[in-house]
C-alpha cells in the first residue's frame, strides 16, 4: 500500500502520480486485463477522520480496429477511483509515449476530484455554477458537454491534468490544451461543443490561479 501523507504537497503528489502511472503502464505492457492498487491519503477529511483509503481499479480493454490508438475514461467517487483504457494493440508501440502522458494526466485529474470530495482544503475555486455537474447523464445530470467541461469541479481538474500533460510532453499549457482537443475532437464534434469557449474558460482560470498551480509556460 502506498501512503501519501499530505495530498496538498505538490511534490508528494507528483511522486504518487509517477509511481502509480509506472505500475499501470507495466501492467499494460504485460497485457494484463486489470490492475488494482490501494493507497492512503491523509486529511483532514470532511467526515472528521484522518485518512482516506483510496481503491484504484484500472481495466484494460483490447479492441481492434479503432480509428484512434486508445481512449481513457475515468471517474472518482468518494474513495474509489476507476480508470478504463480501451486500446488498439495494432497501434502500439507507436502510440505508447502519448499513452504515458495521458495516464499521468488522468491520475492528476482524478486525484483532484478525490481531494474535492474528501478533504476540507479541496481546491475548488471555479464557481461558475451553484451545483457540480457531471457528464454523461448516466453519471449524474449535466445538460450539455460544454457545461460539464466548464463546471466548478471540472475546471480545476482539467487544468491540473493538462499542466501534467504539458510537463510530461514538454509543451506550453496552451499547446497541451490544443493537444488534448486534437485527441478528443471527435467528441467535441459529436456534442457540438465550442472548443474555443471551453479553452478560454480553462485558460482564464489557470491564469487567475497561477500562484496556486504548478509552474507552467
3-state SS, residue 119 = strand
Most confident segment among 66-70, 77-81, 125-129, 205-209 = 66-70
Domain stops at, among 34, 67, 89? 89
Spatial neighbors of 125 by CB under 8 A, at least 6 apart, are 156, 205, 209, 212
Residues 145 and 208 in one domain: yes
Q: What per-residue confidence (pLDDT) applies to 2?
A: 43
Residue pair 177/204 in contact by the 8 Å Cβ criterion: no
Q: Is residue 24 part of a domain?
A: yes
Say if residues 216 and 206 touch (Cβ distance below 8 Å).
yes
**Contacts made by residues 97-100, CB under 8 angstroms, sequence distance 24+:** 98/69, 98/183, 99/25, 99/28, 99/69, 99/70, 100/21, 100/25, 100/168
79 and 135 share a domain?
no
State residue 7's pLDDT score. 38
Residue 136 has pLDDT above 80, yes or no: no
Distance CA 85, CA 76 (A): 15
What is the reported pLDDT for 215? 53
Residue 8: which pLDDT band, with cuts at 50, 70 and 90? very low
pLDDT category of residue 135 using cuts at 50, 70 and 90: very low
Both 135 and 84 in one domain: the answer is no
Candidate ranges 17-31, 111-125, 139-153; pick with highest mean pLDDT? 17-31
Which residue's entry shows cell 475514461?
A: 73
Confidence check: pLDDT of 116 > 90: no
Overall pTM > 0.85? no
Which residues, listed in sequence order, are joined to residue 123 by a DSSP beta bridge? none
Expressed as residue numbers, the domain containing 216 is 123-217
Average confidence (pLDDT) over 71-87: 92
- The per-residue pLDDT for 15 is 84
Specify if 113 maps to a domain.
no
User: Which residues are 58's β-sheet partners?
Assistant: 35, 83
The whole-angstrom distance between residue 89's C-alpha and the CA centroid of its chain comes to 23
- Count of structural domains within the chain: 2
Chain centroid, CA 38 distance in Å: 18
Cβ neighbours of 103 (radius 10 Å)? 25
Q: Is the pLDDT of residue 185 over 60?
A: yes
Quick check: 68 pLDDT over 90?
yes
Dist. CA 58–CA 60, nearest whole Å: 7
Q: Domain check: are 217 and 142 in the same one?
A: yes
Q: Which residue has the higher pLDDT, 172 or 141?
A: 172
Distance, in Å, from the CA atom of 80 to the CA atom of 58, rounded to the nearest integer, reads 11
Cα distances (angstroms) measured from residue 166 to each of 101, 161, 183, 192: 9, 9, 14, 26
pLDDT for 143-183, tens place per residue?
Answer: 688 888 988 888 889 999 999 999 999 999 999 999 999 99
- If pLDDT is split at 50, 70 and 90, which confidence band does 92 have? very high
Amino acid at each position: 500500500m502506498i501512503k501519501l501523507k499530505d495530498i496538498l504537497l505538490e511534490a508528494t503528489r507528483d511522486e504518487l502520480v509517477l509511481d502509480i502511472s509506472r505500475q499501470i503502464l507495466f501492467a499494460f505492457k504485460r497485457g494484463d486485463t486489470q490492475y488494482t492498487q490501494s493507497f492512503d491519503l491523509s486529511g483532514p477529511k470532511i467526515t472528521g477522520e484522518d485518512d482516506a483509503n483510496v481503491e484504484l481499479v484500472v481495466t484494460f480493454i483490447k479492441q481492434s480496429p479503432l480509428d484512434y490508438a486508445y481512449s481513457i475514461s475515468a471517474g472518482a467517487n468518494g474513495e474509489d477511483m476507476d480508470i478504463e483504457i480501451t486500446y488498439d494493440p495494432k497501434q502500439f508501440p507507436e502510440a505508447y509515449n502519448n499513452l504515458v502522458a495521458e495516464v499521468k494526466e488522468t491520475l492528476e485529474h482524478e486525484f483532484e476530484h478525490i481531494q474535492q470530495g474528501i478533504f476540507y482544503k479541496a481546491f475548488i475555486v471555479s464557481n461558475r455554477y451553484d451545483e457540480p455537474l457531471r457528464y454523461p447523464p448516466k453519471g449524474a445530470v449535466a445538460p450539455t458537454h460544454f457545461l460539464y467541461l466548464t463546471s466548478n469541479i471540472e475546471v480545476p481538474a482539467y487544468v491540473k491534468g493538462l499542466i501534467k500533460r504539458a510537463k510530461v510532453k514538454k509543451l506550453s499549457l496552451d499547446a497541451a490544451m490544443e493537444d488534448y482537443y486534437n485527441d478528443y475532437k471527435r467528441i467535441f464534434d459529436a456534442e457540438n461543443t465550442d472548443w474555443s469557449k471551453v479553452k478560454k474558460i480553462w485558460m482564464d482560470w489557470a491564469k487567475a490561479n497561477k500562484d496556486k498551480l504548478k509552474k507552467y509556460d
